[in-house]
Structure 1
Amino acid sequence: MTAIKSVLVTGGAGFIGSAVCRLLVGAGYQVTNLDKLTYAADLKSLREIEDAENYRFVEADICNGARMVELLADVRPDAIMHLAAETHVDRSIDGPGVFVETNVFGTVALLNAALENYRGLDGERQQRFRFHHVSTDEVFGDLPLDSGIFTEETAYAPSSPYSASKAAADHFVRAWHETYGLPVVISNCSNNYGPFHFPEKLIPLIILNALEGQPLPVYGDGQNVRDWLFVDDHARALEAILTRGRVGESYNVGGRAERSNLEVVHAVCDLLDARKPLSDGRPRRDLIEFVKDRPGHDRRYAIDPSKIEQELGWRSEETFEAGLAKTVDWFIANEWWWGPIRAQRYSGARLGGAK
């Protein structure tokens, strides 16, 4: 396979997408970032690369099939890394339609455009072209609290409108490979965390509420378990899968860092107590409030990353403790990024989500 040099990243102004763009630009790829700029996207996350010669931003909607065909004909990328998606479980419960529109119809529109582009490439460029679909471990449903782990062979059993929409997208990507010969790879990741994480999600929500001395809402009894992965580790995994993954294969990406939601909240509280104690001296664990659980709340996710470790030599580098400390320190130091989001676009009414 000829080396990939140019990548179109969809959803590159989001949390994971912006980490991918920063990594790829720094590694010398020619990167085109396509993003619709919905509520969870923020171009400030790309400030460090926005003037780079090998970076370009295009505002567009993946659901616009004609625009996608036009854009691909203009950019002529060696690969597409597809991260554009609606991702918040609570929002999918409140309004599933937009998740079907973006995650399913949008993916199909992008696949059609990619296929038309692929068929027009010469032999060498066809050989190196890849369509990398970035998905989630939530497509597998949930696991018992005391046993089991998701592998690439685990049957799909989505529990929420969000995970159902991602599962459908995964199936369409596989179908375009099997039916039309589009060279695809798929990855399913565990929960990400790190800098530039949208303040609606669990870890940043708890950090920011705790900084401000506000209540820390925890669903149910807080015993739901997630496998946590530092976002920069995930970005490295995605580059490895895009450039070295086998066509038609899927790869599970996890951090081998299972923690209950309550353990995560406790860890954030303790880190902030050590760094910025509350004025009244109270421990921040006193701010925790258990609230009514959400419908269909999966008990546990756990990813087996053995395949990507063995085939591609990828390993997560950050321990959860070190990565969480870096994340807390980043949010303390970067109110310029999260302050406007918190004030203007985020009401504080939602609890932390899964991704």
Structure 2
Amino acid sequence: MFGNKRLFSRAPPNLNLGQRSRISWLLEVPASCDVEFSACWLVRHLTLNYADSYHIVSFDKLDYCSSLNNTRILNDKRNFTFYHGDITHPTEVVDCMERYNIDTVLHFAAQSHVDLSFGNSYGFTHTNVYGTHVLLESAKKVGIKRFIHISTDEVYGEVKEDEDELLESSILSPTNPYAASKAAAEMLVQSYQKSFKLPIIIVRSNNVYGPHQYPEKIIPKFTCLLNRGRPVVLHGDGSPTRRYLYAGDAADAFDTILHKGQLGHIYNVGSYDEISNLELCSKLLDTIGIPHDSLEELRRWIKYTHDRPFNDCRYAVDGSKLRRLGWEQRTSLDEGLRITVDWYRQFGESWWGDITHVLTPFPVVTEGEVVPDDVHLMTDEPPLPGDECHTNGNGKNGHYKVA
């Protein structure tokens, strides 16, 4: 894993102070890129702000997208321990829980990159479903007092523009292999609550972004491409919308649920900031300071390629239940993007080492490593009108493979 102590000391995390708790030993489990990034924001938050209340054990596989820089600031903290392990290995999970007398589990672990799930779905099922099963069985064995399972808003499936935001009681209807694996994991979590009285909470969050996120996700990927003077490449016509939540606000949300959430309940973590992929490109160009007023300039910086095999047009959750516990989104999208772009301008090219291979529109998996897929066409124009949210402009699935 790429680690640089001097580099991290120049990029301290952005943290918010929360409320104290009496919980003593907490196991935080990151195991992939997007959730590893969110989990590291929370583990820094808890370790630095709750030194007298928590001992945090970070159980991490150190996958391709991990960086020890993300928690290096905690290495000299007495209330932080790193355990190198894999959630699909029961002996490692039980050993960690028993060795440190864990009483609370924050389960972030998941393969989360939707593009990769189309060509590597077995890996997503193995980590997201079987790995969750291992954690649940281990938690039952050692008598965990609280098990907080971090899921995603994608388990609900697509929400049309004229449809209401979805409540926690809404039916799950996932549409891609990643979302299906997360929904399956939730079914296991709820079954352990009902069958074995395991004390669980489920959290379903919008997209989280901010400094330290591995650049396979749209905001860090496009930021890194633009910083290199390269155009961004949109899937389809760029019309699908997503809601984005700044990582500092997400850490506060998880903090609120940890301290105030009720066992057996589900909480949506919802953002007010909804934006299309095309509009997001424009905001990033504005934030970085790249002119794009003319058609020629737009064509220079924004390209198009075929869409995913299936691309939901929109996700929308109702987060009022969590807000009733006192949490509020504090960081606007404009402010969050400004902070994020500034961080990647300074550290994006050195935080993980060489990231060139993940800046492709459609990465593929080869022997556990993510590599570029050069079999794609880029154009200056979006696809012809049609059902671009769901397939490419020709109504055919995009090109996905496991090499």
Work out the CA distance in 1 between the residues paired with 2:169 and 2:188.
Answer: 17
Work out the CA distance in 1 between the residues paired with 2:197 and 2:131.
Answer: 20
- Give the alignment of 1:203-352 within 5 angstroms: 203-273=219-289, 283=297, 286-310=300-324, 312-335=325-348, 337-338=350-351, 340-343=353-356, 346-351=357-362
Work out the CA distance in 2 between the residues paired with 1:330 and 1:317.
Answer: 19
Q: CA deviation at 1:156?
A: 0.3
Work out the CA distance in 1 between the residues paired with 2:94 and 2:321.
Answer: 34
Amino acid at match of 1:314: W
Aligned residues: 334
Work out the CA distance in 1 between the residues paired with 2:339 and 2:299.
Answer: 20
Amino acid at match of 2:218: L
Aligned in 2, Cα 1:338/1:269: closer, same or farther, shift over 3 Å? farther
Q: CA deviation at 1:285?
A: 6.6
8 Å Cα contact 2:62-2:84 kept in structure 1? yes
Per-residue CA distance 1:170-189 (angstroms, 9 max, x = gap): 11111101110010000000
Aligned to 2:82, what secondary structure does the other structure show? Answer: strand
Counterpart for residue 105 of structure 1: 130
Counterpart for residue 16 of structure 1: 38
Aligned to 2:74, what secondary structure does the other structure show? Answer: coil
8 Å Cα contact 2:31-2:111 kept in structure 1? no
8 Å Cα contact 1:12-1:20 kept in structure 2? no
Moved more, 6-15 or 106-115: 6-15
Aligned to 1:242, what secondary structure does the other structure show? Answer: helix
8 Å Cα contact 1:252-1:307 kept in structure 2? yes
Per-residue CA distance 1:89-141 (angstroms, 9 max, x = gap): 011001100100000000000100001111xxxxxxx7xx2100000000000
Amino acid at match of 2:62: L
Aligned in 2, Cα 1:337/1:251: closer, same or farther, shift over 3 Å? farther
Q: CA deviation at 1:202?
A: 0.2
8 Å Cα contact 1:4-1:243 kept in structure 2? no
Q: CA deviation at 1:12?
A: 6.8
Per-residue CA distance 1:136-181 (angstroms, 9 max, x = gap): 0000001113432121011100011100000001111111011100
Per-residue CA distance 1:7-46 (angstroms, 9 max, x = gap): 1000178211111111110122211000101112211111
Work out the CA distance in 1 between the residues paired with 2:330 and 2:27.
Answer: 26
Work out the CA distance in 2 between the residues paired with 1:342 and 1:74.
Answer: 36
8 Å Cα contact 1:73-1:117 kept in structure 2? yes
Work out the CA distance in 1 between the residues paired with 2:268 and 2:28.
Answer: 20
- Give the alignment of 1:114-153 within 5 angstroms: 114-118=139-143, 129-153=145-169
Q: CA deviation at 1:295?
A: 1.0
Aligned to 2:168, what secondary structure does the other structure show? Answer: coil
Counterpart for residue 201 of structure 1: 217
Unpaired segments of 5 or more residues in structure 2?
1-20, 364-403
The alignment-based identity, stated in percent, is: 34
Work out the CA distance in 2 between the residues paired with 1:287 and 1:114.
Answer: 49
Work out the CA distance in 2 between the residues paired with 1:189 and 1:317.
Answer: 16
Work out the CA distance in 1 between the residues paired with 2:337 and 2:162.
Answer: 24
Counterpart for residue 122 of structure 1: none
Counterpart for residue 199 of structure 2: 183
Confirm whether residue 33 of structure 1 aligns to residue 58 of structure 2. Answer: yes
Aligned in 2, Cα 1:79/1:297: closer, same or farther, shift over 3 Å? same
Residue 162 of structure 1, aligned match among 178, 183, 200:
178
Residue 4 of structure 1, aligned match among 8, 20, 23:
23
Aligned to 1:56, what secondary structure does the other structure show? Answer: strand
Aligned in 2, Cα 1:76/1:284: closer, same or farther, shift over 3 Å? farther
Work out the CA distance in 1 between the residues paired with 2:280 and 2:23.
Answer: 38
Aligned to 2:158, what secondary structure does the other structure show? Answer: coil
Work out the CA distance in 1 between the residues paired with 2:39 and 2:298.
Answer: 32
Counterpart for residue 86 of structure 1: 111
Work out the CA distance in 2 between the residues paired with 1:43 and 1:332.
Answer: 20
Aligned to 1:192, what secondary structure does the other structure show? Answer: strand
Work out the CA distance in 2 between the residues paired with 1:178 and 1:201.
Answer: 35
Aligned in 2, Cα 1:12/1:235: closer, same or farther, shift over 3 Å? farther
Unpaired segments of 5 or more residues in structure 1?
119-125
8 Å Cα contact 1:11-1:35 kept in structure 2? yes
8 Å Cα contact 2:349-2:355 kept in structure 1? no
Work out the CA distance in 2 between the residues paired with 1:66 and 1:245.
Answer: 30
8 Å Cα contact 2:45-2:251 kept in structure 1? yes
**Richer in helix (by share):** 1
Q: CA deviation at 1:339?
A: 5.8
Aligned to 2:56, what secondary structure does the other structure show? Answer: strand
Work out the CA distance in 1 between the residues paired with 2:96 and 2:240.
Answer: 42
Q: CA deviation at 1:243?
A: 2.1
Work out the CA distance in 1 between the residues paired with 2:349 and 2:235.
Answer: 29
TM-score norm. by structure 2 comes to 0.79
Work out the CA distance in 2 between the residues paired with 1:330 and 1:183.
Answer: 38
8 Å Cα contact 1:44-1:337 kept in structure 2? no
